[in-house]
Amino acid sequence: MLRPPIASSRPVSTVLHGVVTVDPYSWITDPEEEETATYLQAERYYHDARVEGLGDLTVTLAAEMAARVPAVEPSAPWESQGWRYRRVTPEGREYDRLVRRRIADRGAEPAVLLDLHEVHEAGGTGYSHEGLVEVSPDGRLLAWSIDFEGDEVYALRFRDLESGVDLEEVVPHTYYGGAWSQDSSAFLYVVHDEAWRPFQVWRHVLGTLVTADALVFEDLDERLEVELHASRSGAWAVISLLGRGFAEEWLMPTSDLSTPPRLVRPRELGVEYSLEHAPGHGPDGTDGFLVTTNVGASEFQVMWASVDDPSTWVPFLAEDPAQRVWGVDAFAGGLVLHLRRDGAATLRVLPREGAAYDVVPEHAGGMVRLSRNDDWDVAMVMVAIDSFVHPTVWWDYSWDGTRTERHRKESLGVPVHDYVCERQWASALDGTSVPLIVMRHRDTPLDGTAGCVLYGYGSYEACLDPDWGIDWWRSVPSLLDRGVVFAVGHPRGGGEMGRRWWDDGHLAAKFHTFDDQAAVAAHLLDGQVRAIVTRGLSAGGLLQGGLYGRRPDLFAGVVAEVPFVDVVTSMLDSSLPLTAQEWLEWGDPRDAEQCDYLTAYSPMLHLPEVADRPPLLVTGAVHDPRVLVREPARWVARLRSSDPAHGVGADPESPVSAGTVLFRCETGAGAHGGPSGRYAELEYEAAIYAWCLRALGVA
pLDDT at 687 over 90: yes
Do residues 375 and 80 touch, judged by C-beta distance below 8 A?
A: yes
**What's the pTM?**
0.96
What pLDDT digit, counting tens, does each position of 381-399 carry?
A: 999 999 998 889 999 999 9
**What is the β-pairing status of strands 529-537 and 450-455?**
parallel
Torsion of Cα atoms, 685 then 472 then 369 then 156, to 10°: 20
Residue 523 CB contacts under 8 Å (≥ 6 apart), including other chains: 424, 426, 427, 436
Residue type, 239: I
What pLDDT digit, counting tens, does each position of 656-678 carry?
A: 999 999 999 999 877 777 788 89
What pLDDT digit, counting tens, does each position of 295-311 carry?
A: 999 999 999 999 999 99
pLDDT at 457 over 80: yes
**What is the β-pairing status of strands 129-135 and 141-147?**
antiparallel
Residue 314: CB atoms within 10 A of its CB come to 12
Using CA atoms, how far residue 312 sits from 239, 249, 309, 332, 648, in Å, is 18, 14, 6, 23, 63
What pLDDT digit, counting tens, does each position of 190-249 carry?
A: 999 999 999 999 999 999 999 999 999 999 999 999 999 999 999 999 999 999 999 999
What residue segments make up the domains of the chain, in order of their start? 12-66+416-695, 323-410
When mean pLDDT is compared across 70-74, 319-323, 387-391, 647-651, the lowest value belongs to 387-391
Q: Using 50, 70 and 90 to split pLDDT, how confident is the model at 472?
A: confident
Q: Running DSSP on this structure, what letter comes out for residue 582?
A: G
- Compute the distance between CA of residue 356 and CA of residue 340 in angstroms, rounded to an integer: 17
Which pLDDT does position 675 carry in this prediction? 82
**Looking at the domain covering 12-66+416-695, what would its CATH class be?**
alpha beta
Q: What is the DSSP string of 38-52?
A: HHHHHHHHHHHHHTG
Which pLDDT does position 676 carry in this prediction? 85
